[in-house]
Chains A and B, each alone.
Chain A
Amino acid sequence: MKSTQYSEKTLEHFRNPRNVGTLEGPNVAVGRVGNPVCGDMMDIYIKVTDDDRIEDIKFQTFGCGSAVATSSMVTELVRGMKLDDALKVTRGDVADALDGLPPIKMHCSNLAADALHEAIKNWREGVKPEDAVKATGGTACHARPAEVAEVEIANLEAYEGRGLFTKLDDLSELADQRVVVLDTGDAAAQTAIDLTDHTARVVLMTAGKEPSVSPAVRSALRLSDVKILAEAQPLELLGEGELERIRVHDLNEDEEYELTADAFVMLK
């Protein structure tokens, strides 16, 4: 079965999603699940009445057709429901309400139900919306502060002068290279920004949810071409003779993967 063989109902919800947006105010909580690395991320906002009822519900979703449709459907299913009843809504209910999903897309319906449950949990625990959306990933979140001292990278010495840079006198040395800069504060972030003059590919890798930089550098980063790779820690440098890949620990998913890179900048 093709991943896009959706029911008419799923397509209809994708084309005309219900309850898109965010909510604000004192009686609002939000649940966020997934992350952009996986290809889907959802925020579900609920506004709760004094008698524990979902008065209003909104969503924002980055993802495929079924990620959008399941988010839309879950908001329709639980609007007006008591929180305890909304907690009983399962991924199967969401998929059934859409007249089924292709098997490979069942995890999307899982995510939508999870985001709702996460919102209810956050409401009950008094987690503020702004704190909830700072966290990417509801369950698999092991946020750590970005401190270079914690990082132990295997094979580091072997790549000295072969793709590892602990200081950079001439940025043009890295022209047209895929550069990964480790977040060690403002100086590293500024170097990353400056490097975008020399190469189209600059990644700032941080163990935190966002780079540990001052507000001024943060806004400069936001407007720059630097890609932020958050909640990631380098584990090992790899490559034949010179640096080609970095083995990365995805702290959010607690998984490892390899990132292609020609240069790794770790300013002392």
Chain B
Amino acid sequence: MREPRDIPPPVSTGGVTYADYQSSKPVDPRVVEAMLPYFSQGFGNAASLHAVGDDATATLEDARARIACFVGAAEPAEIVFTSGATEANNLAIMGYALRNRRKGDHVIITEAEHISILNIAKYLEKNGFRVTRAPIDLHGRVSPKKLRARMTDETILVSVGWASNEIGTVQPIEEIADMLAGSGIVLHSDAIAAEGLVPIDMGAVPVSLMSLSSNDIYGPRGLGALYVRKGVNVAPVLLGGGQERGLRSGTEDLASIVGMAAAADIMTAERVDEVRRIKRIRDRLVERVLTEIPGSHLNGHPTQRLANNAHFRFDAVEGEAMILGLRDAGIAASTGSACSSKTLEPSHTLISCGLLHEEAHGSLEFTFGRWSADDDVDRIMDALPGVIERLRKLSPLYDALASAAAATEPPASTEKKVAR
């Protein structure tokens, strides 16, 4: 294992203040360094029977063991490498449902899931399965009680993301796992947004299937993994030479796998300090936005949220226009507005939380990470109030008086009461 360093080595964002870590993360230069020998030297195929192949097998199994250790898996064999998080989700849900069809035809997901889960669920419905979507509360949390109310004798699989990739709400996954333990219903969790930010220990939480991504712990893109608890049977969704215990055919990408293992080692060593640092940056942005920008609101859970996530909405302005304004100011962020999506539909998660469409259109997401710095918040706050003010001047919807009143003590003459 590598020695943790106080300051991670530099990466470049090309001068941009990068606050979109949820979309993509830089690969840690220490990870790149660990990968380099596996392109031109340790290039063997782990399936080959000669010495070069044997070296590859040893490297592959060493990496598998380190990633198993990262999530507290009982055995390295419980880790199956995939091409990324999307494939891990496909293998988990489609693979489990198809393999266990005789046990039942009912699958439960939640309304806070990533688009890949939603589309896999649609595919299952087209292929004879019934899918129920469990609701979420105002803050994006799934209620175990409401989940239980949807379970039937035909239910074979429940899929609940560990945390929302969008609004950052962390789900009560342990409670849900404990509730399902012994029921015969398997729990899958998409942990992509959560990994590296919250402790994940398969020894402590009885999740049966869990999707992981390499890039989300600052490893290379194009690689992910599915944790498959021993005894849980999954059918492959990609067929071929039978690698990865037959669950994921295709010659393993050794360099990337070594990279993911290196990323996992670094994360294990540095996560606690890193999360504390990122949370401090995030908390300062939330505090400054809510106090300095009138008509601003925080989406998601006030406390049960990922330490890197700040998700806002602003009255009377549209998200894509804010992104363009911030882009001109050299700031990278993200939005759940319909106008930035391929379908022109606003974020399903925000709508399920109970927001009106016009509110979802005004959402703006900042996510921080390993190379975020305190002065990123200053740079964002140098630009954001001006961007919003400029757009509000264009907007026929903005009611400056109402926003000012909502932000300060109401005048005594109105019947407005101080909320909460």
- CB nearest to A39 among chain B residues: B361
Check A240/B328 contact, CB under 8 A, given A39-B357, A41-B396, A193-B415. Answer: no
Interface window among B23-31, B206-214, B397-405: B397-405
Contact B150 A20 (CB under 8 A): no
Q: Complex Cα distance A145/B138, Å?
A: 30
Contact B150 A3 (CB under 8 A): no
| Contact residues in A for B321 (Cβ distance below 8 Å) | 14, 63-65, 67-68
**Closest Cβ–Cβ distance, residue B331 to chain A (whole Å):** 14
Secondary structure at the B interface, as helix, strand, loop or mixed, is loop
* Other-chain residue from A14, A43, A219, A245 in contact with B396 (beta carbon distance below 8 A): A43
Interface size class of A (residues with CB under 8 A): 35 or more
- CB nearest to A1 among chain B residues: B342
* Other-chain residue from B320, B358, B414 in contact with A36 (beta carbon distance below 8 A): B358
Contact B150 A104 (CB under 8 A): no
B316 within 8 A of partner (CB) = yes
Contact B414 A39 (CB under 8 A): no
| Contact residues in B for A154 (Cβ distance below 8 Å) | none
| Contact residues in B for A194 (Cβ distance below 8 Å) | 417
Q: Complex Cα distance A241/B394, Å?
A: 45
Check A197/B397 contact, CB under 8 A, given A4-B323, A37-B358, A225-B406. Answer: no
Check A260/B352 contact, CB under 8 A, given A43-B396, A197-B420. Answer: yes
Contact A39 B416 (CB under 8 A): no
B220 within 8 A of partner (CB) = no
Interface window among B87-95, B332-340, B373-381: B332-340
Q: Complex Cα distance A140/B102, Å?
A: 50
Contact A200 B419 (CB under 8 A): yes
- CB nearest to B352 among chain A residues: A260
Contact B339 A64 (CB under 8 A): yes
A133 within 8 A of partner (CB) = yes
A40 within 8 A of partner (CB) = yes
B317 within 8 A of partner (CB) = yes
A15 within 8 A of partner (CB) = yes
- CB nearest to B420 among chain A residues: A200
A153 within 8 A of partner (CB) = no
Contact A64 B396 (CB under 8 A): no
Contact B337 A39 (CB under 8 A): yes
* Other-chain residue from B146, B328, B398, B419 in contact with A15 (beta carbon distance below 8 A): B328
- CB nearest to A65 among chain B residues: B324
| Contact residues in A for B420 (Cβ distance below 8 Å) | 197, 200
Q: Complex Cα distance A4/B337, Å?
A: 12
B359 within 8 A of partner (CB) = yes
A212 within 8 A of partner (CB) = no
Residue-wise, chain A 227-251 has the 8 Å CB interface mask toward B (1 for contact) of 1010000000001110011000000
| Contact residues in B for A28 (Cβ distance below 8 Å) | none
Residues from 193 to 207 in A contacting B, C-beta threshold 8 Å: 193-194, 196-197, 200-201, 203
- CB nearest to A202 among chain B residues: B419
Check A37/B416 contact, CB under 8 A, given A14-B324, A61-B394, A65-B320. Answer: no
Q: Complex Cα distance A203/B359, Å?
A: 12
Q: Complex Cα distance A58/B402, Å?
A: 24
**Closest Cβ–Cβ distance, residue B106 to chain A (whole Å):** 14
A80 within 8 A of partner (CB) = no
A222 within 8 A of partner (CB) = yes
Q: Complex Cα distance A4/B328, Å?
A: 13
Contact B358 A4 (CB under 8 A): no
B67 within 8 A of partner (CB) = no
Contact B316 A62 (CB under 8 A): yes
- CB nearest to A11 among chain B residues: B324
A259 within 8 A of partner (CB) = yes
| Contact residues in B for A4 (Cβ distance below 8 Å) | 320, 323-324, 340
**Closest Cβ–Cβ distance, residue B419 to chain A (whole Å):** 5
B410 within 8 A of partner (CB) = yes
* Other-chain residue from B316, B354, B418 in contact with A178 (beta carbon distance below 8 A): B354
Contact A64 B317 (CB under 8 A): no
Q: Complex Cα distance A239/B393, Å?
A: 41
Residues from 17 to 48 in A contacting B, C-beta threshold 8 Å: 17, 20, 32, 36-43
Contact B340 A240 (CB under 8 A): no
Contact B138 A220 (CB under 8 A): no
**Closest Cβ–Cβ distance, residue B107 to chain A (whole Å):** 16
**Closest Cβ–Cβ distance, residue A222 to chain B (whole Å):** 5
Check A40/B339 contact, CB under 8 A, given A227-B359, A240-B149, A241-B149. Answer: yes
Q: Complex Cα distance A3/B399, Å?
A: 28
**Closest Cβ–Cβ distance, residue A40 to chain B (whole Å):** 7
Q: Complex Cα distance A142/B402, Å?
A: 28
Known pairs A37-B357, A67-B318, A222-B401; list 9 more (Cβ under 8 Å): A15-B328, A32-B396, A39-B318, A68-B394, A197-B418, A201-B354, A239-B135, A260-B135, A261-B354
Contact sample, A vs B, 27 pairs, CB 8 Å cutoff? A3-B339, A4-B324, A11-B324, A36-B397, A39-B337, A39-B357, A40-B339, A61-B394, A61-B396, A62-B318, A62-B395, A62-B396, A63-B321, A65-B324, A67-B321, A67-B339, A104-B342, A196-B417, A197-B420, A200-B419, A222-B399, A222-B402, A223-B401, A225-B406, A229-B356, A240-B149, A241-B149
Interface residues of B (CB under 8 A from A): 135, 137-138, 146, 149-150, 316-321, 323-324, 328, 337-342, 344, 346, 351-354, 356-359, 361, 393-399, 401-402, 405-406, 410-411, 414-420
Interface residues of A (CB under 8 A from B): 3-4, 11, 14-15, 17, 20, 32, 36-43, 60-65, 67-68, 104-105, 133, 176-178, 190, 193-194, 196-197, 200-201, 203, 216-217, 219-220, 222-225, 227, 229, 239-241, 244-245, 259-262
